[in-house]
Structures are given as C-alpha cells and as structure tokens.
Amino acid sequence: MKTYLVTGAAGFIGANYIKYILAKHNDIKVVILDALTYAGNLGTIAKDIDNERCVFIKGDICSRDVVDGLFAEYRFDYVVNFAAESHVDRSIENPQLFLITNILGTQNLLDCARRAWVMGKDEQGYPTWRKGVRYHQVSTDEVYGSLGAEGYFTEATPLCPHSPYSASKTSADMVVMAYHDTYKMPVTITRCSNNYGPYHFPEKLIPLIIKNILEGGWKKLPAEIIRVTTKRCTGNDSQFINIPIAIRIPISSILREVSPNMLFNFLPLYIFTIRFQVRK
C-alpha cells in the first residue's frame, strides 16, 4: 500500500486530485494537510474523508512540528504539494504571506521529508533514500513570465516571474531543485496553465461569470460577453485547461510511472476564448 501526504487538498485543484486517486487506486492511503484558508472548502472533500483510506489534518505546511509529526505517524511514500497562496491580485496586496507560504512552506515540507526518508550515505557522501519515495511540487506556468506574439513555453524556457505570486512559486521550484542537486532527493515538478472545473473558487474568471449569470442574469456582469470561440492553442493565448487533463491524470502517472528528477509542462491542445466589452 502506498501512503500519500497531499497538502492543500481542500482547495480546487487538490480536491479534484484526491477524488481521482481514491477512485483509481484501491491500494493507497491519503493524508490531507490543509490550513483551510479562504480558498479551502472542507465540504468539497467531506465525503472522501473516512479516517481509514483518507484522513484530514488541519494544519500549516510551515509548521515543522505538525509536518514532522505526520511523518512520524505515517510512512509516507509520496508528498504532493498543492498548498499555496495563488491569487495574483492578493499577492500584490500582501506579498509577504505568499513568500512565507509558498517558499518557506515548501522548504519545510522538503526538509521534513528529507529527515524521514534518508537512510544513510553512499560512498561519495550523498544521502541514500528509502526506495520508491517521491516529492512532487505543483507549480504554474506563470513562473515563465509573458510570451511574445507567438510561441510556447517549454521546460527549457528561462524563468522570468513578474508578480509576487509568480516570484514565490519560482523560488519554491528552485528550492525543490536545490534539494535534488544538493541531497539527490527524488523530486518532480509540474507546471500547468490556468485550470477550470468542479469546485473552482468563485473569485476566478470562469466560475465568477457563471455565478453572476445564475444569481443576477447577464446584466450583473461588469462587462458584456460579445463572443465565445474555440480554437487550437497557439501557445501565446490565455489558456484554460480542464482539471482532469491538467492535474489528476498526469500527476498520478508521474508519481508511479516516471523516473524522478524531471519537470513537465501541461498546456491545452484547444482553448476557448471569451471576448468582453465593458458596459457603459
């Protein structure tokens, strides 16, 4: 049986992920660690928590005592880190919160995993790791900055963040890779474009539009939708990818089937574009 520590799973993306892996795998145990901040909704995963296959712990990834305690109680095979402050506008209002959670929280998870998973040292003095363990960091395409008129982000694109949020996620990714380079820790990272799907927090674009339409009709929207189109993605478009394609299937496969120490980008093949006209 494989045991997962999944952080931030009361949020939109993490909740979809645990529902997927619990349905797909019978031979797993999932421990959820979530601080239940404004974007966390325990109701989303309430039916999944049975205290046998799925256990919920309210706590902060920045707390060494909390995370060390979980590693002492459970023999984790995988850590999947969804926990993050993730709204660009909020990062402009309170950048320090993003730096603390996204950078120091990630580092704390890595260090707790290192203490629990290292078995000794090899002939060169590098740590030797318990067989089959993996730390997976869920990142974002915003670490790459902005594209020009055409092209795609690739895994080799230089990192160029432009907001406190994207800078904090970039820093977290670099800390993850530093733990691999320094300690030979088995890690993977995924970077995805914008997601949409079930349980999406209503401050985001697509659920916000739907919510306003349902509650007040078209006139409640601050802008009028003048056209919705679907086309093949050209890389520089504003991209929204459906959550099963973006997160649930790829991460599940990466943990179990892909060698560690790799980075993956996920982009949609087709996108839909919403054009607005501000109401006068």
The pLDDT tens digits of the residues spanning 38-54 come to 778 899 999 999 999 99
DSSP 19: H
Q: What percent of the chain has pLDDT over 90?
A: 52
Annotated catalytic residue: which of 4, 144, 165, 199? Answer: 165
Q: Which of 34, 85, 141, 173 is catalytic?
A: 141
Q: Write the DSSP string, 153-179.
A: --TTSPP---SHHHHHHHHHHHHHHHH
Q: How far apart are CA 78 and CA 188, in angstroms?
A: 11
Q: Mean pLDDT throughout 110-128?
A: 96
For residues 172 and 24, give the distance between their C-alpha atoms in angstroms, rounded to a whole number.
29
Q: 209 - beta bridge partners?
A: none
User: Is 38 among the residues known to form the active site?
Assistant: no
Q: Strand, coil or helix: what is 84?
A: coil
What lies within 8 Å, CB to CB, of 242 at 6+ separation is 195, 196, 197, 268
- Classify residue 252 by burial, with Cβ atoms within 10 Å: 0-12, 13-18, 19+: middle
| Residue 222: predicted pLDDT | 54
213-256 tens-digit pLDDT? 777 665 555 555 544 544 444 444 444 555 555 555 678 788 88
- 237 carries an active-site annotation: no
pLDDT tens digits along 61-79: 999 999 999 999 999 999 9
Catalytic residue (one of 60, 142, 144, 199): 142
- Name the residue type at position 154: T
DSSP annotation of 264 reads: E
Report the C-alpha gap between 30 and 28 in whole angstroms: 7
Helix axes 64-73, 105-117, angle to 10 degrees: 30
Would the pTM count as exceeding 0.75?
Answer: yes
Is residue 141 part of the annotated active site? The answer reads yes
